[in-house]
């Protein structure tokens, strides 16, 4: 499978390693010098994984579409303002993309646990939810895409309420608590490295190549549902 990874930073390199572990040598492309990636350099690719920066996603997807690429995994976060435009472009070209602010399978299950916890605590008097996230100092978007998704699923708090730490080299920690006068319940997701994100990117690539998928953007939950449905020991149902 001819695979291109846009972005040769921490995540792009981790995803490249995961592809190599499966015997696929991807083309790992860093920031282009000027005027974007030349379409000729992308022709023939079966799949593009984007692990760049928010502002690069739209031009990168557009040039890859023009070069004939029809499968995308968009790992980059913070490009919500371009979401509608990108979705329309994918649909026009009959292309499918999996896009997720957090590609870790553990995080996907964590999001479902948080959603269920939120539903339960909403029905118990006196509990107030909170969200805290900690990432390495250089991470640009704040709060993180995962924190935004946690807020969306909790429903009762706003993005502005998220406590954000930018310090050191943490690849990602998210803490969700439910606090009442006499007790606190906490759910915590801690990434130790980027391997879980890379494994999710591979799972998304497998899902895209297994059979033709509908044009447009697909959430990572679809892949999680697919994996869980094939694991009878894990009778978890989607709640999104
Ligand atoms: N979905 C997930 O599970 C997940 C997990 C972790 C991170 N992320 C997100 O993934 C993105 C990358 O994270 P990271 O930790 O790898 O960041 P990073 O280390 O800063 O790497 C990003 C790289 O992309 C390069 N780049 C910028 N524009 C480009 C373009 N048009 N084409 C190719 N490369 C380009 C950057 O070059 P310059 O330095 O020259 O700008 C940089 O080397 C971020 O948005 C992050 O939030 C998502």
Taking alpha carbons only, the member of 96, 202, 102, 216 closest to residue 153 is 102
Buried b (16+ CB within 10 A) or exposed e, 160-175: eebeeeeeeebbbebb
Q: What is the pLDDT of residue 236?
A: 53
pLDDT value of position 15 = 98
Q: In what order do the strands lie in the sheet with 3-6?
A: 27-29, 3-6, 47-50, 71-74, 96-99, 216-219
Residues of the chain with pLDDT under 50: 239-240
Residues 96 and 70: beta-carbon distance below 8 Å: yes
| Ligand 1 centroid distance, CA of 202 (Å) | 17
Give the model's pLDDT for residue 240. 44
- Residue 178 CA to ligand 1 center (angstroms) comes to 33
pTM of the model: 0.88
Q: Whose CA is nearest to atom 19 of ligand 1?
A: 9
Q: Is 135 a catalytic residue?
A: yes
Q: Which of 12, 52, 173 to mutate to test the pocket of ligand 1 (most atoms within 8 A of CB)?
A: 52
Q: Which of 77, 99, 169, 203 to mutate to test the pocket of ligand 1 (most atoms within 8 A of CB)?
A: 77
Tokens of 205: 């690539």
Question: Is the CB of residue 165 less than 8 Å from the CB of residue 132?
Answer: yes
Per-residue confidence (pLDDT) for residue 233, from 0 to 100: 65
Residue with CA nearest ligand 1 atom 44: 76
Average of per-residue pLDDT values in the chain: 94
The C-alpha atoms of residue 78 and residue 189 are separated, in whole angstroms, by: 20
User: Active-site residue among 37, 85, 93, 135?
Assistant: 135
Instruction: Tell me which residues have their CB closer than 6 angstroms to ligand 1.
Output: 6-12, 29-32, 51-53, 56, 60, 75-78, 100-103, 141, 197
Closest ligand 1 atom to 78 CA:
45
Q: Residue 237: its pLDDT value, please?
A: 52
Q: Which atom of ligand 1 is nearest to the CA of 56?
A: 31
Ligand 1 test: best mutation among 10, 11, 63, most atoms within 8 Å of CB?
A: 11
Whose Cα sits closest to atom 9 in ligand 1?
76
CA gap 92, 70 in Å, rounded: 11
**CA 159–ligand 1 middle distance (angstroms):** 23
């Amino acid at each position: 499978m001819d695979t291109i990874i846009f972005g040769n930073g921490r995540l792009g390199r981790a995803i490249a390693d995961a592809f190599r572990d499966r015997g696929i040598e991807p083309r790992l492309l860093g920031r282009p010098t000027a005027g974007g990636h030349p379409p000729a350099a992308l022709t023939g690719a079966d799949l593009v994984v984007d692990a760049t920066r928010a502002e690069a996603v739209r031009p990168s997807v557009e040039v890859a579409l023009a070069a004939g690429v029809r499968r995308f995994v968009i790992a980059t976060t913070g490009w919500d303002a371009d979401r509608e435009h990108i979705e329309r472009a994918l649909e026009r070209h009959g292309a499918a993309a999996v896009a997720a602010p957090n590609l870790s399978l553990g995080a996907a299950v964590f999001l479902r646990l948080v959603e269920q916890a939120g539903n339960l605590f909403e029905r118990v008097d006196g509990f107030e939810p909170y969200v805290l996230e900690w990432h390495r100092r250089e991470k640009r978007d704040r709060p993180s895409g995962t924190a935004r998704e946690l807020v969306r699923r909790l429903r009762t708090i706003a993005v502005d309420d998220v406590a954000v730490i930018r310090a050191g080299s943490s690849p990602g920690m998210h803490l969700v608590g439910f606090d009442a006068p006499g007790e606190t319940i906490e759910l915590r997701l801690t990434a130790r490295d980027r391997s879980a994100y890379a494994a999710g990117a591979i799972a998304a690539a497998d899902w895209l190549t297994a059979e033709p998928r509908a044009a447009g953007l697909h959430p990572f939950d679809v892949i999680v549902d697919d994996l869980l449905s094939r694991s009878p020991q894990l009778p978890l149902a989607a709640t999104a």
